[in-house]
Structures are given as structure tokens and as C-alpha cells.
Structure 1
Amino acid sequence: MTPTSSEMSSTSDRYRLLVDNITDYAVYLLDAHGHVSSWNAGANRFKGYTEDEILGEHFSRFYTEEDRAAGLPARALVTAATEGRFEAEGWRVRKNGERFWAHVVIDPIRDARGALIGFAKITRDLSERKMAEESLKRSEEQFRLLVQSVTDYAIYMLDQKGNVSSWNAGARRIKGYEPHEIIGKNFSEFYTPEDRADDLPRKGLEVAEKEGRFEREGWRVRKDGTRFWANVIIDAIRSEEGTLLGFAKVTRDVTEKREAQLALDRAQLELFQAQKMEALGLLTGGVAHDFNNLLMAILGSLEIARKRALAGHDVADLIDNAIQGAQRGASLTQRLLAFSRKQDLKLQAVDIAGLVRGMAQLLQRTIGPSLEITTAFPLMLPPVWADANQLEGAVLNLVVNARDAMEQGGTITISATKKFLTHERDELKPGTYVCLSIRDEGEGMDATTLEKATTPFFTTKGVGKGTGLGLSMVQGLMEQAGGRLILRSAVGEGTVAELWMPVLDKVEHSVAESERPVAAPAVDRPLTALVVDDDSLVLMNTVLMLEDLGHTTVQAESAAEALLILEQGPLPDVLITDHAMPKTTGAELAREVSKRFSDLPIILATGYAELPNGDGEDLPRLSKPFTQDQLSHVLSTVCGTADA
């Protein structure tokens, strides 16, 4: 059915209304020569001409002068007429002379016979998009110039396989390659032969791909073969869809920084070594001074005793003097062990208030009548985890220090309180403590003296008035038992010495009760003891002690000699061996003897507080120097039930 003329007219009107109301596009007609023959609202909006102003005018007026001079309008119509369509983007001009970026499509219009009767032209204003593109382009160019201008960092791109795809000035300066020399080559060129052999370049890319980033410091190689210390970062680059596009690599030459750090480390090590040698010199000097005094007393007494004994005179007082000197030497050794936190502590539940009250008379006699001691303890104070004998010595030491600080007399106050720490303070772990304080009214210490107060052999008492080991011994005792010695002092305000000791909980208390030593049964028979020591003087001394106790001895000066004696038999009742012997130590001898003669009791004698690698931990120990009573007690512990 053929549409009527009125229907066709109605359809045409609807299309015209549609076109006229489009405002985002300029949609208009040109005649066959390029003159404007229709004009819609969109054309009016962004070209600026009204319909009355533009109808009949040539469309070339929308083009720039440069494009008109180049004949672009005419070529556009020819292209549309011959090829059926012309499409392009370019600058166009509004009525007010302002330029805008336009997307243009020109289609030819022909009649039923195919004759060209004009053109349909659609123009879209893309100025905003063009501006965004230009802005992005400028930003990219600025970024490119920025990267290219950086000289302190090598910044370049790698493809998925690690081949270099870009190269900045910093890379050129640091690594020495020109762009044409390195682009397209694998970045493993920069690694040392050792790192390439270890496959580090590939591993670095794998980490960056998997985790998004790889960072490392290490040696890298320049074009000329020299090495430099580099900080390297590799970042994975992915598309919006997550596809790996390549890697961004940033390398910084930190050779100078590393050398400066190494120099600083060396300086700190040298300073530490100097401080250590200074402390060691102070320590050895103090030890030598005190031990020389003690050896003088021992040697002098024994020398005179020998002469008197040969003359038939009584030498008991001289021998007692030598023994007393030796005991003081052993005490000094214990103080050194306390300072080094390596003394043998017998930790148990200790009632602080009871301990101090039990020392009251001793403390008062020690400080003399010119000073007064006052105590202040709460009614309920939990027991602490400490060595009672060592703690008594520490309290006595601190009271003596307080006395020496108050030459004009005064009061020493001893008090204790329960403290609870919720966080670490003064190197004390969180927990419950009892703080035992000893306060004096002396002149106090300045900051420098307070800092050095616990340094071994540091003393303010003058020559011959103190060893300088007292506070360091107390500090070592506290730390070994899980506590802390804290000194608080200021010039003119006296000094407070605080002993922080961990409170004994119920579990520890029950363990402590169960571990109290049980008296060893006495040895009720003579024993045969194999005594091993590489020092003939010590060996003779131990043998004489044993024989004086009524026992029989067999002597060996090495582990090998001892094993030979045991192989030949008969087996002794007990083996007493020194630890520090050449070739084979006492602990090693004990292990070998236990394998071959499993029933033979073994006692390890040593002057060390701790043996390396836990040697001899399961053996009864006899600490040198030991007395005959101590030797007898260990024998009773080991062999007391032999014939029970």
C-alpha cells in the first residue's frame, strides 16, 4: 500500500522536529556546492549562528584560515561525493572566532536517479575530550621529562621477560649504558656472576609478579665492570584487567651510604672494644691488687710456718692466717661470679621482713652506735624468690655503704613494699615484686657517680677502703634471680638502694618446698677414689684430703691415664675428676666412663661457674676451691648409701 501525500508530509514533519530538537550535534544540509540549506538547534548552540544568519552561506566559514587556504572544505565534499562518506576531526571556528575541536561526518544526498543534490553534515563538539586528551598528553610528557631528567635514580621499564624497554638519564649515569646499547637486552646484565648463577634476576621478577613488589640491596655491575652497592625496587605493572604488562625498576647507587654506615659500625666497634678493654683493665687491675694482697698473706704465713715447723715451734696461728687469706680469695671469686651473673644460687622462698629482723643485731654491730637503723614493713608481705644467704650479704653490703656515706651520723631506713608492674620498667618484666629499700641521709651522688656506681672496682671510698665490687655483686645477684638493683640519688638528698625481687607464686612455692635438700647419709666405710687432675698441686691436695678422711686413693694426671687404670681394674668406689684438662675434659671423660662403667659414681670438680654447652649438668659438682668438709659432704651424697 502506497502512503498518501498527507502521510508522507506528516512523517517528514516528525523527522524535522527530531533534527531541530537535537542540541548535542550540529545537523544540517548543504546544497551540491556546499551552501547551508538547513540549520538545527545543535548547530545554533555550538557554532553560534542563527538560521537567518547562516542559510545560503558557504560551510567553509566554519573552517580555520589555514584549512581554507589548504582547500580542505572542497576536498571534504569531493571525498564525500566520490567515496560516499567523509569523516575527520579537526579545529573549527565559531561565529565569535573561538576555535573548538570537532568530529565531522559528511554524507552525500542523491535523488532517485542517483544525481547529487547536496550533503548531510553532522558535527560534534569534542573540545572537552580534546582538552582532556591534551591535558593527559601534557601530563604524560611532563612525567616522561621528569623521569628522563632524574639522575640520582636509574628508572626504567622491563617487559614481562625482563628485557629493558626504556632508559632514563639516571640509568645512563649509574650503569654507564646508552639507550641504544641496552634497550632490548635482559636486565640480568647488571647482576654479578654469582647472583646470575643463583638465578637472582628471575627470582626477583617472580616475587614482584606474585607479591606486587620486590626490594633488595646488593652488588650490581656497571658497563665498565666496576661494582656498586645498589638499592633495587621492582614493581609489577598490570592492566585494568589485571594482565601483567611488565615491570618498573628503580635502582639507586647507595655505595657511599653503605661505606659511611660500615665506617660508623667500625667506629662503634672500636669504641666498644676500647670501652671493653678499659673495663677489662680496671677489672684485672682490681683483681690483681686484691689477689696479690691475699697471696702475700698466704705465702708469708706459710713461709714463716715452714721455718718454725722445722725448728719445732707451734705454727697453728700462721696456718690459720693462710687459711683465712685463702677463704677471702674464694670470697672475692664469688663476688666476681656474682658480677658476671654466673654464681651458683640456691633459690628458695624468702620472707624479707623475717630475714631483715634476723640480721638486726649484726647490722647494728656493723654500723656502730653513732648510726640508727629503723625498719618499716607491712603486716602482710609475700615471700620472694631469692638465695637467702646471698641476699643477707647484699643487705649487709648496702647497709655498710649507707654507713660510709654518713660520716656525721644519721638514720638508715630499711623498708619493703609490694609492687605490681603492668609493663616493662627499668628492665624489669611485668609482674609482682617486693621492693626492699635501704635509704641513707648521706651527701648523695651526682649523675656521673651514680652512672658508674655499679661498675666493678669503681669506688669513692679511697685506696684500701673497699674493693669496688659490692654494688656490682648485688646487681649481678638481683639480675640472676630475676630482679634488679635500682639506685636513686641526688647531691644533698642521700641515696636509696632498691632491691626488686620477684614474688614467689603458689606453684613455685610448692616446687621450692619439694626441692629443699635432704641431708645426705654419712659414708660409714672407707672408699677407694680415683682422683684425676692435670695440676699436680691440686691433685696432691685432693688426695691428702681424702686420705685424711680415711679413704684410699688412686691418682691420674690425664683422662687417658684414668681410662687405662679403669680398664686394668679393679674399679674404684668413686671417680673424682677435674674438668679443665688438655685433650679430654672431665665432662668428656665422664661421658666415656658412663658408657663403659655405668655403675661407677662420678664427681666433677671445677673452678668454672658454668661449663660450655651444658657439659656435666647431670653430674654432682664440687666447686673449686673446696674444703675437706665440702668434699666429705659430696662423697656422702654420692656414696652414702653404698652399703646401707
Structure 2
Amino acid sequence: MDKELASASRASLEQEVALSRLRRQALFEAIDDGFCIIRFIDGPHGPLSDYIHIEANSGYERHTGIRDIVGKRLREIEPEHADTWIEIYGRVLRTGEAVRFEQEFVAAGRYIEVSATRVGPEEMGQVSVLFRDVTARKKTEAALRDNVQRVQLALAAGAIIGTWLWDVPADRFSVDDGFAQAFGFDSSMGRSGLSLEQVIETVHPDDRAGLIAAIEEAFTRGGAYAHQYRTRRQDGNYYWLEANGRVDLNADGTPSQFPGVLIDIDGRRAVEAERDRALAALRTLNETLEQRVEERTAALLTAEEALRQSQKMEAVGQLTGGLAHDFNNILAGIGGSLELMKIRLAQGRIGDIDRHLNGAQAAVKRAAALTQRLLAFSRRQTLDPKPSNLNQIVAGMHELIGRSMGPSIAVETVAAGGLWSAFVDVGQLENALLNLCLNARDAMPNGGKLTIETANRWMDDLAAAQRGLPAGQYLSLCVSDTGTGMSPDVVARAFDPFFTTKPTGQGTGLGLSMVYGFAGQSGGTARIYSELGRGTMICIYLPRHLGEGAAEDAWPIEEPSPVAAGRKTILLVDDEPLVRMVAVEVLEDLGYFVVEAEDGPAALKALAAHPVIDLLVTDVGLPNGMNGRQLADAIRERRPELPVLFVTGYAENAVLNHGHLERGMQVLTKPFSADALGRRVRDLIGEDGQAGG
């Protein structure tokens, strides 16, 4: 029984609350004025730097012209004037003192009287705002002021030429002699009274419709009236005049009487006509000048484009010059080593072969590293991204970085707690981090402090735009030093390829450009913050990864190439004959049976002749209409589980689906060693001939 009473009581209370809400909403809607309640919130500009509209009636839209206001923030709808409204309503919230003022809403074309009052205590953060349309009153006041001003000016100039009093219900004009003469009547007709029809007959035919419309509009609203038109006088000519008056309305809103004065404006209109002719001539002159400006601007743009092209060619020249310098040095080392090997073989001095062979291989590695840096700068390197924890990466690099810095530089890491995951190529990120640390070391020749810091960054529209990124969640990896710092000119060029402030021979100028390109290719960016004499901080920003978390990375151990466990068959596809020949010999030496092809169509024919294959090894960039990924997809339609090893010398990352490869697919970047090729092949085929994951 008690439960039933409690339930009934609760239902009754809920019904009363619902009815109260309905009454409240009905009251709001019954108010013709606009009404809303706002609640202050914290915004991007600080505490209580924005507010949200939590209630509003339909009158709000009628008076302000703003639709669907509930739920919207001030800075969303009024970004340019937000601070002004925050100051006004914020003072009401803080002091509890109501405020009333008039405001023009340009978008709605209205004048609004605004009344604001705090709702409840300050802690609630709420203010109620009432909007009342006072446009009609403002326009009437303006018209009256304008009318009074005109009459005063006319009186001062002695330009009033007649007066009238129109009894509107009786349609009789009582006029003086000046009015009668202005409309071409005899004075006797003016004294006997005139009708509106008689007055209209003397008005210029082109001005009659406008005069009637102006009178009807004045009858509707009452108050001040002013209109200009031409009338025919007794000499048969038309002259300009201005009628200024005031319409008095009865209690029922109908016009009662309409007094006014006539002002001679014929001379003024003549001056205005002359002014219009002068303005027309001026417009013609302006158009001529604008045309000349456009022609001059076009010439300047052409010159600017030529300058840009010159600067572009200078940049290309700097790039190609740097490439030529570095690659010529590398080629000289390779060519010299091979030539000495040939000479030593002819001399029978086989003992010197290893030294020259090692020199050539070292030069090849330098060339590969240089190519990777260039690809990183141009955002074309082949990446192998995976969910990664930046704190783990930094911790794993700490010992190597510490040894690289030397005893005079203190290394500190600041790892953010609860750090998000990033989807990034771990090896390339480590390379970028090491580059930044080495640059910082070189900027501190007398020692100092190096700080590596990770952080979560939630960037709003402004912060993201400053870094050239879309708004969202990011991670930052920042390297700071207490070194010499950079000037603004150096900061502006620091990411350019081959730009370096180091002495000749002490830097390629590709380190920072590689970092910048790698960050951009990973969906983020890099920024430099520096002052001369006060050190430098360089930050890599990477987007947050919202998929599965980072897994522990297991680094491969360098071991000799494994020998094939059985006679497995490999289909090798590469359009470069020398590369294909070397790969075939390496794989055959490891015990594999190799079927080779130079492009996709040839590979499909070879597959038809040798349908049982255990692995596809294919270059990505193949000629004749089918790239390596398309070839793999075509073969996997028949052999879905066939493992595939993509080999690439250029980062066709889009072809490889930006690193998101399917199960049983891997990528090997050219140039590669025989050991690396052997390990990848064995990893994919597996110990027992089954495809590796």
C-alpha cells in the first residue's frame, strides 16, 4: 500500500513538473519579445571566455535573425564581437546589476533594446537576456531629426516657399500664396481650398506614382514625412521642390491632418546634377586608372612569376649541386675500389681484395642512406608504420644518445604519463630523433643540457592552423638544447635540403629536411622554436593512433642468411636485368628454385608454366601496365595465402596502401644485401615451407 502511495505521489510530482515546464514554455512563447538564457563556460581564451545558449523562445529568431540558437556557443556565431558581449554579460554575472541598452543587429536590419539580468547566484553562471524590437521608433526618431534639421536649414537659408495644412478626412488643402504659386494655381484657388487630385495634376507625370506611394506610406506609420518631386508652375516649366511635413494619426490609426512646408531645391538639384556629371567623369577616369593599374599589376605578376621561377631554379640548382657533390664522392669511392680490385686480380694480389670490396660496399651503404634521406625529405620513402609508444622508443635510444653526446652534455628525458599511441615507422623515427640530438650536440660545443620530452597535445583550430595541421589529437616529441640558437633567417631555411651552417665537410644539410619530410609523410609536421644565444627546441608532431595499442618491438638479430630447408620455388619479377641476375644467383645459392620474369604479363605466363610456387618476389615499379601490387593481387585471387615480398628502390607508398599490407606481405628496400634478402625470404616461406606471418 505504501509503495502504491509513493508511486502515485511520484507520478503526480512528475506530472506537475511537466505541467510547470509546459506553462513556462507557453509563457516564453507568449512573449512577443525575444528571450534567451545563457550560461558562461570556459573557452579557448581562458576561464569564462565563452557562453552557450541553453534556452530561447521563437521571438529570439524574429528579433535577431539568428536561427537554432540553443546549444550554440557565442564564439561560434559572433567570433568578431564575442569579447564585447562577454564583457557586457560578464559584468552582469559578476555584479548582479541588470543592464539595458540598444544595439543594432546589422544582419537582421533591426535595432534591438537589450535587457540582461543575472539568474540565481554567480556560481550558476547564468544570465537571462530580453530582446525588444525598437526599429520603428528608431527610424521615426531619425526621420523626425532629419525633418527638423532640414526645416531648420531651410529656414536659415530662407528657402521655404510655401506651407499647407491638409485635412485628410475632408481632403481639403489650406495653403498660402507660396504653395499656390509653386503648384501653378491662382491665389484665389489656394484660398478656396484644393483637393489631392488637383495637387497631383500639376506634378510631373514621372513623379506622380512616387509621390502617391510616399503619402500612403506616411499615412500607414504616421510621423515625419519628406519627399522630393517636380511641379509645373504658371510659366509652364517644372521645378524641383521638397515637401516636409508630419502626419497626425487618430486613435484608430487613421490619418487626421497633415501639415507641412515646401522647400525650393531646384538650385540644389542643379548643383547635384552637375555633381553627378562630375562624378560620372570621375568614374570614367577611375576606370581608366583601374585598367592601367590592372595592366601594371599583370606586368608585376609576370615579373614576380619570373622571380619565383628563378628562385625555384636556384633551389633546384642547390639541390642538384648537393646531390652531384655527394654522389660523385660515393661513385668515386665505388669506381676506385672496383678498379683496384681488377688491378689486384690481374696482379694476383688476392689478399687486398677484401679491403677494396669492403670500401665499395661501405660506399654503396652511404649512397643508400643518402637516397633514403632525399626520399624522406620529399615524403616518398617507403615506411613500415605500426602502433608505437614514443616513451618506449625514447627509453630504448637513451643509452645510444648519451654515448653520442659526450661527458660535457647532460641528457634528460621527460616522459609524459598516459601517453597516447602513434602510428609510425619506428626505425625512421629513431633515425629522426638521433639526427635532432646530434644537431643539438653540435650547437653546444662548450657543453650544456639536452632534453627529450614527449607529450599529448590536443590542438584546437588555432593551434593546429599555426602548425599547418587539421585540428585534433597529436603527440609531440621535442628535443631542446641550451646551445647557440638560430636566427630567424636560419630558422626559415633550416628544413631546406643541403642547407647547413656547419663548415664544409661536416654536414650534408639533409638531416633536418629528412626529419621534416618524415613527419609530414607520417601525417604530422615538425617545427623549430629558437632564439640566438638562448637555445633551440625542435618538435615532431604526430597524429594520435586510435586503433590497437603499441606492441613491444622485437629487433631482429643479424645472422647469416639461412639456407632453404627444401627445394622451394620462387617467382622473381624485376625489370632491371642486373638486379634480377644478382637476386637469382643469391636465391639459387641458398637452395631455391627460381623462375624469373621482367614484368607483370611475363610473370603471369611464367606462373601458368610453373603453377606451384612458394613465394612471389616482385619489384613494385614494373612497366607495361601492371605494377607489382597489381600483379600480387592478380596472383592472390587464385592463391590467397601466397606470401609476397615487395622490393622497391623508390617509395611507391600509395601503391603499397601506405604501409597497410595484408597478412603474408613484406617490403624490402633497394639496395639490399644478400643476407637481408635471404632472411626475408626464409621469414615468409617459413621453416617448413608454409607462409610466415
Which residue of structure 1 lines up, in the alignment, with residue 313 of structure 2?
Answer: 277
C-alpha separation in 2, matches of 1:43 and 1:508 = 87
Which residue of structure 1 lines up, in the alignment, with residue 424 of structure 2?
Answer: 386
The answer to whether the 8 Å contact 1:457/1:468 transfers is yes
Say which of 293, 314, 319 aligns to 2:329.
Answer: 293
Residue 90 of structure 1: how far off its partner (Å): 2.3
Residue 382 of structure 1: how far off its partner (Å): 3.9
Give the 5 Å matches for 1:555-574. Answer: 555-557=596-598, 562=603, 565-566=606-607, 573-574=614-615
C-alpha separation in 1, matches of 2:402 and 2:637 = 58
Which residue of structure 2 lines up, in the alignment, with residue 473 of structure 1?
Answer: 514
The answer to whether the 8 Å contact 1:89/1:104 transfers is no
Is residue 347 of structure 1 aligned with residue 385 of structure 2?
yes
Which residue of structure 1 lines up, in the alignment, with residue 186 of structure 2?
Answer: 92
Distance 1:459 1:126, change over 3 A: same
Q: Helix, strand or coil for the counterpart of 1:502?
A: strand
Letter in 2 for 1:92: D
Which residue of structure 1 lines up, in the alignment, with residue 40 of structure 2?
Answer: none
Provide, for residues 489-516 of structure 1, a one-character-per-residue CA deviation record: whole Å limited to 9, x for no partner.
Answer: 1222122222333344xx4234x55999
The answer to whether the 8 Å contact 2:617/2:645 transfers is yes
Is residue 419 of structure 1 aligned with residue 457 of structure 2?
yes
Residue 401 of structure 1: how far off its partner (Å): 1.0
Which residue of structure 1 lines up, in the alignment, with residue 496 of structure 2?
Answer: 455
Distance 1:132 1:558, change over 3 A: closer
Which residue of structure 2 lines up, in the alignment, with residue 190 of structure 1?
Answer: none
Which residue of structure 1 lines up, in the alignment, with residue 280 of structure 2?
Answer: 150
Which residue of structure 2 lines up, in the alignment, with residue 164 of structure 1?
Answer: none
Provide, for residues 85-132 of structure 1, a one-character-per-residue CA deviation record: whole Å limited to 9, x for no partner.
Answer: xxx9623348xxxx9799869xxxxxxxxxxxxxxxx99799997964
Q: Helix, strand or coil for the counterpart of 1:458?
A: coil
Distance 1:557 1:433, change over 3 A: closer
Which residue of structure 1 lines up, in the alignment, with residue 370 of structure 2?
Answer: 332
Say which of 548, 561, 578 aligns to 1:509.
Answer: 548
The answer to whether the 8 Å contact 2:173/2:194 transfers is no
Residue 253 of structure 1: how far off its partner (Å): 11
How many residues of Structure 1 are paired with residues of Structure 2 in the alignment? 453
Is residue 492 of structure 1 aligned with residue 622 of structure 2?
no
Q: Helix, strand or coil for the counterpart of 2:184?
A: strand
Give the 5 Å matches for 1:12-411. Answer: 46=176, 90-93=184-187, 132-133=229-230, 134-135=240-241, 146=276, 150=280, 259-260=295-296, 262-309=298-345, 311=348, 313-314=350-351, 315-411=353-449
The answer to whether the 8 Å contact 1:398/1:438 transfers is yes
Which residue of structure 1 lines up, in the alignment, with residue 651 of structure 2?
Answer: 609
Distance 1:639 1:293, change over 3 A: same
C-alpha separation in 2, matches of 1:428 and 1:508 = 20
Q: Helix, strand or coil for the counterpart of 1:344?
A: coil
Distance 1:43 1:442, change over 3 A: closer
Residue 586 of structure 1: how far off its partner (Å): 4.0
The answer to whether the 8 Å contact 1:101/1:125 transfers is no
Say which of 620, 626, 634 aligns to 2:672.
Answer: 626
Residue 297 of structure 1: how far off its partner (Å): 2.4
C-alpha separation in 2, matches of 1:258 and 1:23 = 58
Which residue of structure 1 lines up, in the alignment, with residue 250 of structure 2?
Answer: none
Residue 301 of structure 1: how far off its partner (Å): 2.5
Say which of 505, 524, 533 aligns to 1:464.
Answer: 505
Letter in 2 for 1:509: E
The answer to whether the 8 Å contact 1:605/1:623 transfers is yes
Which residue of structure 1 lines up, in the alignment, with residue 149 of structure 2?
Answer: none
The answer to whether the 8 Å contact 1:441/1:495 transfers is yes
Q: TM-score, normalised by structure 1?
A: 0.58
The answer to whether the 8 Å contact 2:175/2:191 transfers is no
Which residue of structure 2 lines up, in the alignment, with residue 203 of structure 1?
Answer: none
Which residue of structure 2 lines up, in the alignment, with residue 548 of structure 1?
Answer: 589
C-alpha separation in 1, matches of 2:426 and 2:654 = 27
C-alpha separation in 2, matches of 1:568 and 1:499 = 51
The answer to whether the 8 Å contact 2:440/2:480 transfers is yes
Residue 558 of structure 1: how far off its partner (Å): 5.3
The answer to whether the 8 Å contact 1:578/1:604 transfers is yes
C-alpha separation in 2, matches of 1:321 and 1:638 = 32
Distance 1:255 1:376, change over 3 A: same
Letter in 1 for 2:674: Q
C-alpha separation in 2, matches of 1:44 and 1:427 = 76
Letter in 2 for 1:590: L
C-alpha separation in 2, matches of 1:626 and 1:538 = 10
Provide, for residues 23-51 of structure 1, a one-character-per-residue CA deviation record: whole Å limited to 9, x for no partner.
Answer: 858xxxxxxxxxxxxxxxx9997469xxx
Distance 1:269 1:576, change over 3 A: farther
C-alpha separation in 1, matches of 2:610 and 2:299 = 63
RMSD: 4.8
The answer to whether the 8 Å contact 2:530/2:537 transfers is yes
The answer to whether the 8 Å contact 1:92/1:102 transfers is no
Bigger-Rg structure (1/2): 1
C-alpha separation in 2, matches of 1:419 and 1:602 = 38
Provide, for residues 366-403 of structure 1, a one-character-per-residue CA deviation record: whole Å limited to 9, x for no partner.
Answer: 12223222333455544444332222222211111111
C-alpha separation in 1, matches of 2:415 and 2:273 = 75
Letter in 2 for 1:391: L
Distance 1:406 1:490, change over 3 A: same
C-alpha separation in 1, matches of 2:482 and 2:616 = 56
Provide, for residues 220-273 of structure 1, a one-character-per-residue CA deviation record: whole Å limited to 9, x for no partner.
Answer: xxxxxxxxxxxxxxxxxxxxxxxxxxxxxxx99976566555444444433332
Distance 1:464 1:499, change over 3 A: same
Provide, for residues 447-470 of structure 1, a one-character-per-residue CA deviation record: whole Å limited to 9, x for no partner.
Answer: 111111111111111111011011
Letter in 2 for 1:280: V
Q: Helix, strand or coil for the counterpart of 2:185?
A: strand
Distance 1:392 1:601, change over 3 A: closer
Provide, for residues 404-463 of structure 1, a one-character-per-residue CA deviation record: whole Å limited to 9, x for no partner.
Answer: 112222222333344332222322333333433322222221111111111111111111
Is residue 428 of structure 1 aligned with residue 474 of structure 2?
no
C-alpha separation in 2, matches of 1:265 and 1:534 = 46
Provide, for residues 34-76 of structure 1, a one-character-per-residue CA deviation record: whole Å limited to 9, x for no partner.
Answer: xxxxxxxx9997469xxxxxxxxxxxxx998xxxxxxxxxxxx
C-alpha separation in 1, matches of 2:332 and 2:474 = 44
Q: Helix, strand or coil for the counterpart of 1:488?
A: strand
Provide, for residues 271-307 of structure 1, a one-character-per-residue CA deviation record: whole Å limited to 9, x for no partner.
Answer: 3322222222212221222222222222323333344
Q: Helix, strand or coil for the counterpart of 2:542?
A: strand
Distance 1:306 1:380, change over 3 A: same
Distance 1:100 1:498, change over 3 A: farther
The answer to whether the 8 Å contact 1:577/1:586 transfers is no
C-alpha separation in 2, matches of 1:429 and 1:634 = 38
Residue 608 of structure 1: how far off its partner (Å): 1.6
C-alpha separation in 1, matches of 2:361 and 2:476 = 38
